[in-house]
Structure formats: structure tokens, C-alpha cells
């Protein structure tokens, strides 16, 4: 399933037929999300004005989830949301300026990627406006692959990283996700926003859409709407640590049941950082996340 709009699901059938379908009653309450492999019955010709039915959702290889914040969830409080299914690469799109990069957000995406068993790729856009050294320095202890993008240079590096994979783009509003998709898939026709409107609650893209790249190997790229935060309330404290692979080894010396918060006087992570094995800011970020999970901080 590659797109959904008001209960109408767009589905792609090899080698290139696009059909419209609705949910069949037998699906019950199970949600169909972009990236899902589904079974379809009825008119699958792809002719205009036909409507098929989705009768089954196949088991998912991966599920990228985030916890929506209170504001988005309205009166229902926090709830988990599936962003996409079956992605094997999480492309964390961050602009180097306008809006400025936020490593706290990138850290959260790394945790989500680890938790969902999806490989992360850091994609730094607007390299024409600012340099990447500060952001890359912050992640220097990680084996985090990255690509730089700017309007006046080719996207060959990014395209290579996307080839043969199902990649989902996530990032704040205005970082240039749809701009990238339009460059990679010339007939994608994704709306592109004006940065001055960002922060005023305006998000240019409002739903996720999967698009096929014109590569020999089947490759898909999924554009998603900008998000303000990547809520991780659904991730266990252990998985949270594994999103910080530069810190994991440092916990070997910790006492049993150490929770690694600043309140644990014997936590070995402070010494690990002091010895230069990881960046102090990464430890602070990890502890901020631990605190936000415990509800001490939002």
C-alpha cells in the first residue's frame, strides 16, 4: 500500500499497476499503513473508477512507530502511531540551517531505528547554507552513515544508498524531504513548502506516500509529513540505550541494576565519557531521554 486518503488506499501491483482499494470488513480494526503488503480482491485492473478491497495484511518485516505527543493526540492522551511498515532504512533528514539541526531529534530517530531494526542514514540537507562539521562531530564515535545534499550538486550518493531498499524519510517540517523526493522521482509532484511558514503549525506534506525510484533494483522512498518530536514512550529503557551504541560498552562497568541516570552515583558512563570514549553531549541526551520516559520531563 503506497498512499491513503480519506479511506481510499492506493496500492501498487508489480510490474506497475496502481489501483484504488477500500478496507474489507474482515480486516476488523487492524490498520493498513503505508508500506504494508496486502492481499486484494475485486477489480485489480487499475482502470479509473474501479474499487478493489483489501482483505489481508501480510506479516510486517519492520514497524516504525512513534508515540504522538499530547497535543496531536487531543483528548485521548498519548498513543502509539505506526509511521510505516516494512521499511529497511530510516533516512533521518536534517537541514544544516533554516531550520537548524537538532541533535536531540536525531538521537531519538536513532533509538527508533534501533528499536524497529531499521538501518539509519543521516541525510544532511541545505549544505549550501551551512557546513556539516558540528553535527558530524557530535556523531563521530558512531558508525553512522551520512550523505550531504545541496541544490547545486547531484544526489548520486543518496541514490546509491537508497538503491534496492525501502527507505522512509523522517524529519522536521521544512528540512527538505519532499524537495529530495521530487528530485529523485521527477514525476512525484510532492508539494514543497516555504520555510517562513514553519513553526506556525504549517506542514506542507500531510500524509505519507511511497514512490518507486527509477533504479534497476526495486527501490522505494517514502515521504512523510514533518514531525515536531519523535515520541519514544513505547521503547523500553534497554532499547533506549542501544540507540546510543557509543555508550553501550561503557555500561559494562556499571553495578547491577544501574539505571544510568545522573542520580546513580556509581554509573560508569560518566567515567566512560571522561576517558574520551563518547561525547558528553551524547550522555546528556541519553539521560534526557531516560528522564522523559520516566515522565520527569517532556
Q: Which residues bind ligand GTP (CB under 6 A)?
A: 125-126, 128-129, 149-151, 171, 173-179, 192-195, 203-205, 225-226
Residue 170 CB, shortest distance to ligand GTP, in Å, is: 9
Point out the residue whose Cβ comes nearest to ligand GTP: 226
Name the minimum Å distance from CB 97 to Mg ion.
Answer: 18
For every residue of the chain, DSSP letters joined together read --EEETTEEEEEETTTEEEEEEE-GGGTTPPP-TT--EEEES--S--TT--EEEEEEPPPS-EEEEEEPHHHHGGG--EEEEEEES-SEEEEEEESSSSPP-HHHHHHHHHHHHHHT-EEEEEEE-TTTS-SHHHHHHTTTS---EEE--TTS--HHHHHHHTTSEEEEE--TTSSHHHHHHHHSTT-------GGGTTTT--S--S-EEEE-S-SS--EEEE----S--B-TTS-HHHHHHT-HHHHGGGGGSPTT---STT-TT-THHHHHHTTSS-HHHHHHHHHHHHHHTTS--
**CA-CA distance, 146 to 108, in Å (whole number)?**
16
175 touches which of ligand GTP, Mg ion, none (CB within 5 to 8 A by kind)?
A: ligand GTP
CB-nearer residue toward ligand GTP: 47 or 200: 200
203 binds, among ligand GTP, Mg ion, none (CB under 5 to 8 A by kind): ligand GTP
Judge whether 250 and 278 are in contact, CB under 8 Å. Answer: yes
CB 148, min distance to ligand GTP, A: 9
Q: Which residues bind Mg ion (CB under 5 A)?
A: 177-178, 204-205
Nearest approach, Cβ of residue 168 and ligand GTP (Å)? 13
Question: Least distance in Å: CB of 298 to ligand GTP?
Answer: 22
Find the shortest distance in angstroms from Cβ 74 to ligand GTP.
21
Q: Which is nearer to ligand GTP, 174 or 250 (CB)?
A: 174
Cβ proximity to Mg ion, 35 vs 176, nearer residue: 176
- Nearest-approach distance from CB 192 to Mg ion, in angstroms: 7
Between 205 and 229, name the residue whose CB sits nearer to Mg ion: 205
Q: Beta 38-41 vs 209-212: how paired, if at all? A: unpaired
Distance CA 179, CA 122 (A): 16
173 binds, among Mg ion, ligand GTP, none (CB under 5 to 8 A by kind): ligand GTP
Residue number with CB closer to ligand GTP (167 or 178): 178
Closer to ligand GTP by Cβ: residue 27 or 130: 130
Closer to ligand GTP by CB, 35 or 250: give it: 35
Q: Are residues 224 and 84 in contact, defined by beta-carbon separation less than 8 angstroms?
A: yes
Amino acid at each position: 500500500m503506497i498512499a491513503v486518503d480519506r479511506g481510499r488506499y492506493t496500492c501498487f501491483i508489480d510490474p506497475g499497476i496502481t489501483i484504488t482499494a477500500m478496507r474489507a470488513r474482515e480486516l476488523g480494526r487492524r490498520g493498513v499503513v503505508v508500506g504494508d503488503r496486502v492481499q486484494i480482491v475485486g477489480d485489480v485492473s487499475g482502470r479509473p473508477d474501479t474499487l478493489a478491497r483489501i482483505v489481508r495484511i501480510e506479516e510486517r518485516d519492520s514497524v516504525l512507530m512513534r508515540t504522538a505527543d499530547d497535543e496531536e493526540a487531543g483528548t485521548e492522551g498519548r498513543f502509539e502511531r505506526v509511521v510505516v511498515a516494512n521499511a529497511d532504512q530510516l533516512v533521518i533528514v536534517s537541514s544544516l540551517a533554516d531550520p537548524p539541526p537538532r541533535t536531540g531529534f536525531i538521537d531519538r530517530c536513532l533509538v527508533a531505528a534501533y528499536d524497529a531494526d531499521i538501518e539509519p542514514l543521516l541525510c544532511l540537507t541545505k549544505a549550501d547554507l551551512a557546513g556539516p562539521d558540528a553535527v558530524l562531530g557530535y556523531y563521530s564515535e558512531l558508525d553512522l552513515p551520512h550523505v550531504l545534499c545541496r541544490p547545486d550538486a547531484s544526489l548520486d550518493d543518496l541514490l546509491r544508498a537508497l538503491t534496492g531498499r525501502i527507505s522512509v524519510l523522517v524529519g522536521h517540517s521544512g528540512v527538505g524531504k519532499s524537495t529530495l523526493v521530487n528530485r529523485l522521482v521527477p514525476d512525484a509532484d510532492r508539494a514543497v513548502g516555504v520555510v517562513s511558514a514553519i513553526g506556525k503549525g504549517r506542514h506542507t506534506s500531510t500524509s505519507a506516500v511511497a514512490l518507486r525510484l527509477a533504479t534497476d533494483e526495486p527501490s522505494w522512498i517514502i515521504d512523510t509529513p514533518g514531525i515536531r518530536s519523535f515520541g519514544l514512550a513505547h521503547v523500553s529503557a534497554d532499547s533506549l540505550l542501544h540507540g546510543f551504541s557509543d555508550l553501550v560498552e561503557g555500561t559494562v562497568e556499571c553495578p547491577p541494576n544501574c539505571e544510568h541516570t545522573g542520580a546513580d552515583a556509581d554509573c560508569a558512563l560518566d567515567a566512560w565519557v571522561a576517558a574520551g570514549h563518547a561525547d558528553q553531549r551524547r550522555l546528556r541526551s541519553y539521560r534526557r531521554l531516560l528522564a522523559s520516559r520516566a515522565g520527569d520531563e517532556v
